[in-house]
Amino acid sequence: MNSLSYLPIVARGGFGGIVRWFIQIVIYDICITTIQDVLGVSRMVALFIFLGIMLAIAAVGYIVRKKMSGQADADI
């Protein structure tokens, strides 16, 4: 058995993934803290507002993607 299989994160170049994950967490924390400070709500309410905004962005992206893929199929 390969000795690298015992080090799944570091051996497979996952250190960059870990750094990316931490950067995302910091950005999300800054967004949630900003919502909390601006609106004067608790952190949990700010988290739900943030998740609602992310859900709305994902829904718009999904709708736009479906419209564009239909047009792309019509061109072929």
Mean pLDDT by 10 residues, the chain (76 residues): 51 71 90 95 95 96 85 57
10 Å Cβ neighbour count for 28?
14
CA–CA dist 14, 23 (Å, integer): 14
**If you ran DSSP here, which 8-state letter would residue 25 be given?**
H
Task: Name the pTM for this structure.
Answer: 0.65
